[in-house]
Amino acid sequence: MVVYDEKGTVGFDHNKVVIKSKSSQVELPNDTELAMVRSKFGWGNFSLVMLITLVYPMIRQQSAVFTTMLLLFVIGIFLFLHLKHKWIKISFIRGTENQVVYISDSSGDGWGGIFGGTEKLFNQLQLALDQSE
């Protein structure tokens, strides 16, 4: 599996959908499958942040109420970000190989995808692929 972490653009050119980045360009065939998926929950990051959230109030000798409120706030933020952040899974065949590409709206330093940008991109891709058939 090859993994890239790079920015690119999704373009619509003469009834074709083209994904361009610095290192590659992919023209999506008509039989492309699209799906909205969630990434796996980052248990490692979550555990580390929870540990820091528990230790910090102890060092600063904060009250139990403050610690509880802080924990609930951090858990809420993690759940919100996890539930809102989705990816578009693009599956297609290139040559004889199955290809899978995951993309997401990265506008606004990634916040665009969390606040509905990825869903809008998914709908535009779906519409463009339907029209190209």
pLDDT one-digit tens code per residue, 8-55: 888 877 777 888 888 888 888 878 899 999 887 788 888 998 999 989
% of the chain beyond a pLDDT of 90: 22
pTM above 0.85, yes or no: no
- Rounded to whole angstroms, the Cα distance separating 116 from 86 reads 9
Among 84, 73, 81, smallest CA distance to 118 is for 84
Helix (H, G, I), strand (E, B) or coil at 88: strand
The stretch 100-109 carries a mean pLDDT of 85
Helix (H, G, I), strand (E, B) or coil at 32: coil
Residue 127 in this model has a pLDDT that exceeds 80: yes
Among 119, 48, 133, smallest CA distance to 84 is for 119
The stretch 92-117 carries a mean pLDDT of 85
* Chain mean pLDDT for the chain: 85
